[in-house]
Amino acid sequence: MRTQVAIIGGGPAGLLLSHMLAREGIDSIVVERQTRAHVLQRIRAGILEAGTVELLRAVGLGRRMDREGHSHDGTAIAWAGRDRFFIDTRKHTGKAMMAYGQTAITEDLYAARDAVGGAIIDEATSVRLEGVTSNSPSVNFGKNGRTERIDCDYVAGCDGFHGISRQSIPATILRTFEKTYPFGWLGIMSETPPFPDIVYGHHERGFALASMRSPTLSRYYIQCDLATKLEDWPDERFWAELKARFPKNIADQIVTGPSIEKSIAPLRSFVTEPMCYGRLFLAGDAAHIVPPTGAKGLNLAVSDVFYLARGMVDAIKHGRTGYIDSYSDMALRRVWGAERLSWWLTTLLHRFPGDTPFDERMRENQLDYLARSEVAQASLAEQYVGLPFED
């Protein structure tokens, strides 16, 4: 097979890139390890930055999002015994956020690719890259017991944190920066009306988050130990713990019901530099991971793809390589900003094992400052709603 851009990974980053390239007349093939059903049933992100929303609209993916997504003006923060305060992104930045699930975005992307006959190969095994430092790289993989090969001009590594693309960059070139946290998030989805605001909660029992997918679908998370087992958390225990971590006026308004999904995600900060090697370009979770506090992961995947699509279009159609040559530097500036915000919010809102009373006082003082200071709120609002893409 031959294509202009071989894309490894059919998650949001890979699918969006193939969609944006196709709109510019550039041909790509997406190679995905899992079945489509598996990709579509993963429940992950839910909150979109203003720039992500604008970009999805600009590339023709806004219709269902605008119909079914929940536009909101910011997010609330609550902590033990105090009333919640609101980080008003609309007031401070003029921009709104959108609650619209990654699962729905992925469905929309598959529908858009199918509508124009986009090539997506699923259940590909043993995916391997060759010749990425030459002008004619190739992607090799197994499919239905046969070995297949795609020759291409560029390879996009959009295969998530556990993918092979990043591992194809020699250790002598790749630098990685990592921080792990001694806890995870236990999350549930329930067919119950959500709490009206997205609320991040800090409590001595640990972090809690109330979020939403639609007027009838709620998403909640609580901080948990890394050793936590799902079977130890029947719904009743989850609801009791969630409510115990929010102030009473919020807890009393949370509508409980049976969960339809329950999962645990460990928290990690991780960055790869550079985000390219020869004609291989990494985008999304393949290059970086943020802890979910701050909701930046999917948004970073989208901004990477914005920069990468622009660079590839300019190089392939017009022979101009300025943007593709600066892809890694430009993308990394935004990545590090989101890394810092996610790390800071994680540190501010969670309890760490071994925290001293001094640590807790520092946290309370920061929350107190944030609750009182318009300037501090404006700074958080600017980052939460998403910094602009660079020209």
- Catalytic choice (194, 292, 307, 350): 292
Residue 388 CB, nearest approach to ligand PHB (Å): 20
For residue 321, give the amino acid letter: T
Q: Which does 279 bind (CB under 5 to 8 A by kind): ligand PHB, ligand RFL, none?
A: none
- In the list 7, 8, 129, 198, the residue contacting ligand RFL (rule: CB under 6 A) is 8
Options 34-42, 171-179, 291-299, 315-323: segment touching ligand PHB (CB under 6 A): 291-299
Q: How far apart are CA 342 and CA 348, in angstroms?
A: 10
Residue of 159, 201, 281, 334 that binds ligand RFL (CB under 6 A): 159
Binder among 73, 153, 197, 285 for ligand RFL (CB under 6 A): 285
* Sequence-ordered list of residues with C-beta below 8 angstroms from that of 91, at least 6 positions apart, any chain: 73, 74, 381
Strand boundaries in the chain, DSSP class E = 5-8, 28-31, 47-48, 70-72, 74-79, 85-88, 97-99, 119-121, 125-130, 138-143, 146-151, 154-157, 175-190, 199-202, 208-214, 217-224, 259-273, 276-277, 280-282, 288-289
Q: Taking CB under 6 A as the criterion, which residues in 154-183 touch ligand PHB? A: none
Question: Do residues 270 and 338 touch, judged by C-beta distance below 8 A?
Answer: no
Please give the residues from 210 up to 239 whose contact with ligand PHB meets the rule CB under 6 A: 211, 219
**CB 367 to ligand PHB: min, Å:** 17
Counting contacts by CB under 6 A, is residue 291 touching ligand PHB? Answer: no
The CA distance from 278 to 384, in Å, is 33
Q: Choose between 323 and 344: whose C-beta lies nearer to ligand PHB.
A: 344
Q: Tell me which of 95, 288, 296, 350 is the catalytic residue.
A: 296
Helix (H, G, I), strand (E, B) or coil at 4: coil
Q: Which stretch binds ligand PHB (CB under 6 A): 54-62, 234-242, 290-298, 363-371?
A: 290-298
Residues 10-39 vs ligand RFL: string with x where CB under 6 A? xxxxx----------------xxxx----x
- In this chain, which of 127, 209, 210, 313 binds ligand RFL, going by CB under 6 A? 127
Identify whether 200 is a catalytic site residue.
yes
Contacts with ligand RFL: how many residues (CB under 6 A)? 37
Out of 51, 294, 311, 386, the only residue in the binding site for ligand PHB (CB under 6 A) is: 294
Q: Tell me: does residue 50 bind ligand RFL (CB under 6 A).
A: no
Question: Site map for ligand RFL, 249-268, x if CB under 6 A?
Answer: ----------------x---
Under rule CB under 6 A, residue 293 binds ligand PHB: yes
Please classify residue 255 by burial: count the beta carbons closer than 10 Å to its beta carbon, then call 0-12 exposed, 13-18 middle and 19+ buried: exposed
Angle at 368 between CA 363 and CA 371, to 5 degrees: 125
In sequence order, what are the residues at sequence separation of 6 or more whose Cβ sits closer than 8 angstroms to the Cβ of residue 327? Answer: 275, 276, 281, 307, 308, 311
Residues 6+ apart with CB under 8 A from 184: 223, 224, 225, 226, 228, 264, 265, 266, 267
Q: Which residues contact 206 (CB under 8 A, 6 or more apart)?
A: 183, 222, 223, 224, 245, 350, 351
Q: Are 186 and 237 in contact (CB under 8 A)?
A: no
Q: Is 72 a catalytic residue?
A: yes
Binding residues for ligand RFL (CB under 6 A):
8-14, 31-34, 39, 44-47, 102, 124, 127, 158-160, 162-164, 185, 187, 265, 284-285, 292, 295-299, 301
Binding residues for ligand PHB (CB under 6 A):
45-47, 209, 211, 219, 292-295
**Active site residues per annotation:** 72, 200, 292, 296, 384
